[in-house]
Amino acid sequence: MSTTTVDLTDPDLWARPDVGEIVGELRAQAPVQRTETALDGPVWSVLTYELGSQVLMDSATYSSTGGSLLGSGLGQTPAGAGKMMALSDGPRHRELRAPVLPYFSPKGVRGSADRISELAASVVADAVERGEVDLVDVLATVPLVVMCDLLGIPGDDRDLVVSVCDEAFLAQTPEARRAGHQKLIPYLFEKAMQRRMEPSDDLISTLATHRIKGRLLPIEDVVLNLDNIVVGGVQTVRHTAAMSVWTLLNRPEAWRQLADGEVDLGAATDELLRFTSVGLHVLRTATRQVELGGQVIEAGDKVAVWTWSADHDPAMFDRPGELLLDRSPNRHLALGVGAHYCVGAPLAKAELGAIYTALTDQVAGLEPVGDPVFNRSIINFGFDRLPVRLRAR
């Protein structure tokens, strides 16, 4: 059995400049290896693209109900198991995913493209005027406001929701972030109850009035799924955006290509998603004994697909350590694959594309002001703070 001594669950590993070499060596040693994790005990780490996608495509063998992310704790089942889209399998998963799909379909997202572009442009214009800003804070506004639009948060509540989300996602300590999150749940609960009585044409109303085999979805499940969407839709986008800008900041030629329109924005957005792969891993639980990459995995074992590693696998991507903005094809796993493929993918790409366009349209150059502060998380790896000085174009 191959057991790794490198702690893949240590966020400091992912902030190291030589992370590519370390993970590359591990992947070359064995595509599947046993990792001892501090919180979840032994976990099978899947490091190659081929086996990672094999796991994610086979939800009958690799279930999501035991949790989709590391960190729940040894032997613990997450509260939303079987109730949340991300934590359910098979027909139950489809029942929960179907009602929200129209909000995130490419057609649904195209309808809001102008609004998203205007929002990104005004957020960047404001930052350029201020000159020196924390880019993480600035860029988080785009997914936050888009989320308020989607949920149908009324004008009067927006400042409150944005500030609670800011606290839940941007506060400086994990305790403060948890406290912020705990304020979000009762708010969503109150709104879900209200919209169940007086529905409107927004995502809260859709879930609050959703019936499965004639029965309304329990209100707790409504809130859990709304929370899943808010967390999934805000954190990931802000971390990807900030990490991507950092990546471009260190590659002036790529920034120039993007600014001069030499590369297709969609292809560039996908390559930045692949290169940053901020959702470093996705977790599954084996439902039966299965052989994977020469290892025997027992029913009940945890299996972590290291998305970042898969997305830098040279067997799948030519020169994976290079940022090639016109890379094609680019079937990365940054947004997952299979039944749980990110439901918000078209929206995420629209938001990220709008952010890159606004930045390259309005900003001639960015300089870091001091060192960035990493957020120390393997769930959404990124920056807590990225202070920069912006020069207007």
Cβ nearer to ligand HEM, comparing 86 with 207? 86
Give the range of 181-189, 228-236, 291-299, 383-391 binding ligand HEM by CB under 6 A: 228-236
Among 237, 304, 363, 386, binds ligand HEM (CB under 6 A): 237
Query: Taking a C-beta distance cutoff of 8 angstroms, is the pair 235, 169 a contact?
Result: yes
Cβ nearer to ligand HEM, comparing 57 with 364? 57
Q: Binders of ligand HEM: how many residues, by CB under 6 A?
A: 25
CA distances from 217 to 21, 189, 206, 224, 377 (A): 47, 13, 11, 11, 32
Q: Which residue is nearest to ligand HEM (CB)?
A: 344
Least gap, CB of 124 to ligand HEM (angstroms): 18
Query: Taking a C-beta distance cutoff of 8 angstroms, is the pair 142, 351 a contact?
Result: yes
Instruction: Verify binding: residue 64, ligand HEM, rule CB under 6 A.
Output: yes
Instruction: Verify binding: residue 355, ligand HEM, rule CB under 6 A.
Output: no
Least gap, CB of 292 to ligand HEM (angstroms): 17
Query: Taking a C-beta distance cutoff of 8 angstroms, is the pair 38, 305 a contact?
Result: no
Beta partners for 322? none
Among 343, 354, 359, 363, binds ligand HEM (CB under 6 A): 343
Instruction: Verify binding: residue 335, ligand HEM, rule CB under 6 A.
Output: yes
Handedness of CA 106, 109, 113, 119 (dihedral sign): negative
Cβ nearer to ligand HEM, comparing 128 with 356? 356
Among 45, 72, 228, 330, binds ligand HEM (CB under 6 A): 228
Spell out the alpha helix ranges (H) of 98-134.
101-104, 106-110, 113-130
State the Cα angle at 90 between 228 and 303, rounded to 5°: 70
**Type of residue found at 225:** N
CA distance 257 to 269: 13
CA distance 108 to 113: 9
Instruction: Verify binding: residue 382, ligand HEM, rule CB under 6 A.
Output: no
Least gap, CB of 340 to ligand HEM (angstroms): 3
* Site for ligand HEM, rule CB under 6 A: 56, 64, 68, 85-86, 97, 228-229, 232-233, 236-237, 240, 278-279, 282, 334-336, 340, 342-344, 347-348
